[in-house]
Amino acid sequence: MKKPNGYDETRESGTFDLVELGGHYAVVKQVSETQSSTGKDMIVVLFDFDKNDKQAGYHSQAFNNDSREEKKWPFNGSKYIMVHDFNDPNKTSRAFKTFCTCIEKSNNYSIQWGGASWGAQFKGKKIGVVYGEEENSYDGKTFMRRVPKWFCNIDGVATARVPEAKYLPGHNSQPVVTDANGFIAVPENADGEDIPF
C-alpha cells in the first residue's frame, strides 16, 4: 500500500496535547448561578483559551471532538466557585471576589449586580487563568491532572507562576525541588556518593 496523504501529521486515537502549566489568556463562554450539593451559592465559569493564547481554542476543540451523544464542556475548561466564604457565610469568598475583580480589570468593565440573567454579562469577557497539577485517583489508579487553579488579570498571564503540585493525602513521595533553571538543589553535606557525576 502507498502511504496515505497526511499520514505523518495524523494523530492516533487517544492522543492529545496537555494544557500547558502556568498562565493562559482566556475568554469566558458562560457563567451560570447554581448551588452546591449542600445548598450553598456558587457559580460555574466555562471558558476557552483566547485567540492570542499559545493553545487558542483548546477547550472548544475538545468539545467539538467529543463523540459522546451528550457532549459536555471539558472539566479543565471550567471552574466552580463558591460565592460565600466557607467559614463565614456572611462574607464573600476570596475566589469569587478574585474572579469578579479580574473580569473588571481585564475588560475595563464594572459588573452589573442583580437581575435574573446576571451571568450573561460575562460572555465574551477576557480573563487570565493559571493552571497547575493535582493528583487524582480513579478506578484504583493514581494520576496527575492539569486543572485551572485560579483566575488572574490578563496583564498577569505572562508572569504567572506555575502553582506547586497538589497531592492526595498520604502521598508518600515528595516532588523533586528545582530552581528557576530546572536544576536540582544538592545539599551542602552531600558526600558525592549519590551524585551521578
DSSP 87-104: S-TTSB-HHHHHHHHHHH
Q: What is the pLDDT of residue 1?
A: 83
Which one-letter DSSP state was computed for residue 84?
A: B
Looking at residue 25, its pLDDT comes to 98
pLDDT score recorded for residue 170: 79
Query: What is the predicted pLDDT for the residue at 175?
Result: 54
| E-state strands within 36-175 | 41-49, 78-82, 126-138, 141-152
What integer pLDDT is reported at residue 197 of this predicted model? 43
pLDDT of residue 15: 47
- Give this prediction's pTM: 0.78
Q: Are 166 and 134 in contact (CB under 8 A)?
A: yes
Distances (CA, A) of 181 to 30, 178, 185: 38, 7, 11
Residue among 90, 88, 99, 104 nearest 44 (CA) = 99
The mean pLDDT values, 10 residues at a time, for the chain of 197 residues are 72 67 98 95 98 97 90 95 94 97 98 93 98 92 94 97 92 56 52 47
Nearest to 100 by CA among 119, 86, 85, 117: 119
The domain limits of the chain are 22-156
